[in-house]
C-alpha cells in the first residue's frame, strides 16, 4: 500500500530542530526520554501567537496546552507527564493520546465483518476499550514530520498498524496532525486500509481550565450541542437506543458540571461518561463549550464527527503528573469527538467501516478564549 498523501506541505523532517515562520510561529524539539523498548522519544513544542502545545511521538500524544487566562498569563490546561516513562506507567489513563484503532468500547471484544468474527483484547470489564492492551495507537511509536502552511506550525505523525495488530483486520496507515492557526488547535486524522476494517479516532485530552493539577473541574460550566444520547447497559455498551437527554445529562444549555453529578455517582458510569449525539449538520460545526469563570478561560469544540463523549475524570485517583502534581478524582474532563461507541456492532449507528480505496478523515478544532 502506498503511504498516505501529505495533508500539508512538508517543510522539514523530524530531524529539524526548529522552524520559524514569522515572529509568532515556531516549532522546536527536545528529547523526551527512552521508551521501554529502547526507542528514544521526542517532544515538539509548537507556538503560534498566544498559544503553545507540546506533542510527542509516543502515542502521537498531546502533552501540554498552554493558553492565556484573562490576565494574559499562560497556563497548562491538560493533564500529562514530564517524560515518556509516565505515559508508559500505570498512572496513565490515556492522557492526551491518539486513541484507536477504535476509540471507546466494543462489546465483548468482538465484531463480525464479511462473515468472519474478529476477537479483540478484553481490557475494560467484559469489553474492548480504546484499541487494545499492548499495541493500541496510544502505546506505539509514531514517525514525525514537521510541517508548514504559511504561518501555521504543525506536526504530522504517521504509523502503519499491520494486519492483525490487536486483532483488527487490514494494514492500516494512519496520520495524526496537530496544527495551530488563528482559529486555535486542530486535530486532523486520516487513514487508509487494504481490507475492510473499523476505524474511529479521537484525541483523549483531559482538560482543566484552572490549570492541570487543580483540585477539581466540577466548578467549570459546560454546554453541549446535543438533545440526544446513546444509553448504555451496566458495562457502558450502548443498548442501540437513542434517547433524549434529561435531568443531569442535559447540557443543551450551559450548566455547572458539578451541580447534578452526584445523581450519577451510583450508576455504572460513576459520573459523566456518556456519548452525546451531536445535532445534525454538514462539515465542521460547534459541538461544546467549556468555561472557567474564575480566570476567564474558555474552549469551544468544533468538529465534523457525529458524537462527543463527555467524561468527568471519574477514575482519576491522585496519581502524580507533571511536576509531581496529584491529579485528584474528577479534576479534569474529556470531550472526545467520535463516532458512537460499539458502532461496529450497532447497524443503526453511523458506520465506522473503512473500505479499501477510501480515506478515513476526522477533524476537530479547539478554539480558545480568555474573557
Nine-digit cell at 212?
Answer: 492541570
Q: Determine the length of the chain.
A: 371
Contact indicator for 13, 145 with CB cutoff of 8 Å = yes
What lies within 8 Å, CB to CB, of 366 at 6+ separation is 184, 185, 186, 187, 299, 300, 301, 302
Annotated active-site residue 134? The verdict is: no
- Tell how far CA 160 is from the center of its chain: 19
**From its phi and psi, is residue 295 left (phi > 0), alpha (psi between -120 and 50) or beta?**
alpha
Determine which one of 145, 166, 190, 336 is catalytic. Answer: 336
Angstrom distance (rounded) from CA 24 to CA 148: 14
Contact indicator for 287, 279 with CB cutoff of 8 Å = no
Contact indicator for 277, 229 with CB cutoff of 8 Å = yes
Detail the DSSP E strand segments found in 237-297. 243-244, 255-256, 273-278, 285-291
Supply the DSSP symbol for 280: P
CB atoms within 10 A of CB 266: 8
Q: What residue spans of the chain are helical by DSSP H?
A: 84-87
Determine which one of 58, 130, 204, 339 is catalytic. Answer: 204
Annotated active-site residue 204? The verdict is: yes
Angstrom distance (rounded) from CA 289 to CA 308: 12
Angstrom distance (rounded) from CA 290 to CA 369: 10
Of 259, 258, 251, 255, nearest in space to 215 by CA: 258
**Cis upstream peptide for 101 (omega within 30°):** yes
Indicate which residues carry an active-site annotation: 204, 336
Amino acid at each position: 500500500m502506498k503511504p498516505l498523501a501529505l495533508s500539508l506541505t512538508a517543510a522539514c523532517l523530524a530531524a529539524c530542530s526548529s522552524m520559524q515562520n514569522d515572529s509568532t510561529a515556531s516549532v522546536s524539539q527536545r528529547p523526551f526520554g527512552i521508551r521501554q523498548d529502547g526507542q528514544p522519544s521526542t517532544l515538539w513544542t509548537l507556538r503560534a501567537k498566544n498559544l503553545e502545545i507540546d506533542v510527542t511521538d509516543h502515542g502521537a500524544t498531546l502533552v501540554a496546552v498552554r493558553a492565556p487566562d484573562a490576565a494574559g498569563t499562560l497556563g497548562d490546561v491538560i493533564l500529562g507527564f514530564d517524560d515518556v516513562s509516565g505515559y508508559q506507567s500505570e498512572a496513565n489513563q490515556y492522557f492526551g493520546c491518539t486513541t484507536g484503532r477504535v476509540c471507546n468500547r466494543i462489546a465483548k471484544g468482538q465484531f463480525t465483518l464479511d462473515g468472519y468474527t474478529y476477537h479483540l483484547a478484553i481490557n475494560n470489564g467484559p469489553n474492548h476499550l480504546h484499541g487494545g492492551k499492548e499495541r493500541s495507537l496510544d502505546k506505539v511509536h509514531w514517525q514525525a514530520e514537521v510541517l508548514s502552511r504559511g504561518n501555521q506550525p504543525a506536526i504530522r505523525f504517521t504509523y502503519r498498524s499491520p494486519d492483525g495488530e490487536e486483532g483488527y483486520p487490514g494494514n492500516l496507515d494512519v496520520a495524526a496532525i496537530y496544527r495551530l492557526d488563528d482559529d486555535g488547535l486542530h486535530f486532523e486524522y486520516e487513514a487508509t486500509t487494504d481490507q475492510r476494517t473499523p476505524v474511529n479516532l479521537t484525541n483523549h485530552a483531559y482538560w482543566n481550565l484552572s490549570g492541570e493539577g487543580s483540585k477539581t473541574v466540577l466548578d467549570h460550566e459546560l454546554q453541549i450541542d446535543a438533545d440526544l444520547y446513546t444509553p448504555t447497559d451496566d458495562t457502558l455498551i450502548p443498548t442501540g437506543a437513542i434517547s433524549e437527554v434529561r435531568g443531569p445529562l442535559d447540557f443543551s444549555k450551559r450548566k455547572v458540571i458539578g451541580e447534578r453529578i452526584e445523581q450519577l455517582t451510583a450508576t455504572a458510569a460513576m459520573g459523566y461518561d456518556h456519548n452525546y449525539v451531536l445535532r445534525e449538520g454538514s462539515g465542521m460545526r460547534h459541538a461544546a463549550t467549556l468555561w472557567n469563570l474564575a480566570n476567564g478561560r474558555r474552549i469551544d469544540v468544533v468538529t465534523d464527527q457525529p458524537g462527543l463523549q463527555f467524561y468527568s475524570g471519574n477514575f482519576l485517583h491522585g496519581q502524580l503528573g507533571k511536576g509531581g502534581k496529584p491529579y485528584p478524582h474528577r479534576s479534569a474532563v474529556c470531550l472526545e469527538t467520535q463516532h458512537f461507541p460499539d458502532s461496529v456492532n450497532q447497524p443503526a449507528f453511523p458506520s465506522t467501516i473503512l473500505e479499501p480505496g477510501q480515506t478515513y478523515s476526522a477533524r476537530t478544532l479547539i478554539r480558545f478564549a480568555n474573557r
